[in-house]
Structure 1
Amino acid sequence: MRTFTVIASLAVFFAGAVQAITPAATPQFEALFVGVLEVGDAATINNTTFGSRLYGPITGGNLTDLASGQLAGTVLAGSSDTGIISQSGIFFPDAVLSVRWEVDQKLAYLRATGVGEIFVSDLSYIHLETDSETYSALNSRFLLGNLTFFEGEQTHPVLTIYGAV
């Protein structure tokens, strides 16, 4: 009798667990900014068994606020990408951007880490920090960045930044 009770209890437990597994709602994003980055000549820093670390200096650029159509910020020289190109050809970007907001001249720090194809496109999570009153809400917002290169053009990719709704 005890065995039956244990088996029945387990059956109820697992049946409830199966019913409780439902996917979360698909995240929704809105495009916030778009801009062109200026990228200097890329160079390999080192090679490992996993792949090669690439250094790509980001020498400038801009971000346009898609809600207003106005220039939102300027990407400052000194930003860089030090991603890894794996032996399989997958690119893992690890970029840091410094941006000066036009509205109040405050600075923003953006760190992007993701995955993609080198000099084609990549998708990254962006962590943003700023003390700008206008853009401080972005400090706690989930942001994605899509960096897309035009064919044959490695120095002026388009960056689109999306925010979770």
Structure 2
Amino acid sequence: MQLAIADESTRAGDLRQADIDADGVEATSRTLLACAPTEGLGWFGAYWAEIRQAGFGPRTAGLLGLSYRFAPHEAWLQLIRAPLALRVFTAATPELKNYAAQDFADLFQARLFPSAATLYQAAAAAARPELLERTCGAPQIDRELLMHFVTEKGLQIRHRCYPFEDRPDHLKE
């Protein structure tokens, strides 16, 4: 809950409150990790606070990596972790890139297409081809549904696994 409050103050642009809330997330994460050092949410909270305060670097990458190590496939955590991981995709290690793309693939495979489309939209442009590559083996209907939700967000999909003939002309390559 502390993380959601802090995220909201950051989005609202209240820098003073965002700093206070980031400190709260850091303290809460430290407390959680002291009791449960394998809690992926605790490591993600530590990552969130650190990236807010210091930016992306080796230390923050390590915290994100621990979140993935201890909670690789928890959908509720993937929904909040993946957008942040996909934003730093170009600076991330190959391992973190793989984890972030797998978050997307897991949500896609769970048929959470609106959420997968939101992740696609939030992803760095360099990450998008890798995300779509993870969907190539899926049934065409699933890929069409993803394309529908991505198109609703005003984006186009240009990828070898999305050459559907029944696409509207304005979406064809």
Shared fold (TM-score greater than 0.5)? no
Give TM-score, length-normalised by structure 2. 0.24
* Larger Rg computed on CA atoms: 1
**Which structure has more strand as a fraction of its residues?**
1
Higher helix share: 2
